[in-house]
Amino acid sequence: MSARIENLYLPARPTEVRRGKGWSTRFAFVLAAAGSAVGLGNVWKFPYIAGEHGGGAFVLVYLACVMLIGLPILIAEIVLGRRGGSSPIHGLRALASREGRSPNWRYLGWLGVAGTFLILSFYSVVAGWSIAYLWYAVSGQFGAAAADSAASAGALFAGLKASPATMLACHALAMAATVLVVARGIRNGLERAVRWMVPGLFVLLVALVIYAAVATGEFGRAAAFMFRPDFSALSWDAVLVALGHAFFTLSVGMTAMMAYGSHLEKKVSVAKASVAIAGLDTLVALLACLAVFPIVFANGLQTEIGPGLLFVTMPIAFGQMPGGEFAGMLFFLFLGLAALTSTISLLEPTVEHLEQRAGWNRRRAAALSGLAIWIVGIGSVLAFNLWSGFTPFGKNLFDLLDFVTANLMLPIGGLLIAIFAGWGLSRASLAEELGLGESPVFRLWRFVLRYVAVPGVVLVLVYNLL
Ligand code: TRP
Residue of 185 and 443 predicted with greater confidence:
443
3-state secondary structure of 373: helix
Residue 24 alpha carbon to ligand 1 centre in Å: 23
Mean pLDDT, the chain, rounded, equals: 88
Q: How confident is the model at residue 83 (pLDDT cuts 50, 70, 90)?
A: very high
User: Which tens digits make up the pLDDT trace of 190-230?
Assistant: 677 667 777 787 888 898 899 888 888 899 999 999 999 98
Ligand 1 in reach of 49 Cβ (< 6 A) = no
Instruction: State CA 384 to chain mean position distance.
Output: 22
- Non-local CB neighbours of 376 within 8 Å, separated by 6+ positions: 117, 118, 121
CA of 232 to the centre of ligand 1 (A): 30
pLDDT of 5 reads 36
Q: Note the pTM of the prediction, 2 decimals.
A: 0.91
Residue 42, ligand 1, Cβ within 6 A: yes
* Distance, CA of 212 to CA of 232 (rounded, Å): 29
For residue 41 and ligand 1, the question of a CB distance below 6 A is answered with: yes
The pLDDT-based confidence of 271 (bands split at 50, 70, 90) is very high
Residues 71 and 83: their CA atoms lie apart, in Å, by 18
Between 344 and 465, residue with greater pLDDT: 344
Per-residue b or e along 389-405, where b marks 16 or more CB atoms closer than 10 Å to that residue's CB:
eeeeeeebbbbbbbbbb
Q: Which residue has better confidence, 150 or 127?
A: 127
The pLDDT, as a whole number, for residue 57 is 94
DSSP letter for 462, please. H
For residue 6, pLDDT over 60 is answered with: no
Q: What is the pLDDT of residue 27?
A: 76
Q: How confident is the model at residue 48 (pLDDT cuts 50, 70, 90)?
A: very high
**Distance from the Cα of residue 19 to its chain's centroid:** 28
Q: Mark 287-308 as b/e (b = at least 16 C-beta within 10 Å).
A: bbbbbbbbbbbbbebebebebb
* Pocket test residue of 346, 347, 404, 412 for ligand 1, highest count of atoms within 8 A of CB: 346
Please tell me the residue having the least CA distance from ligand 1 atom 14: 251
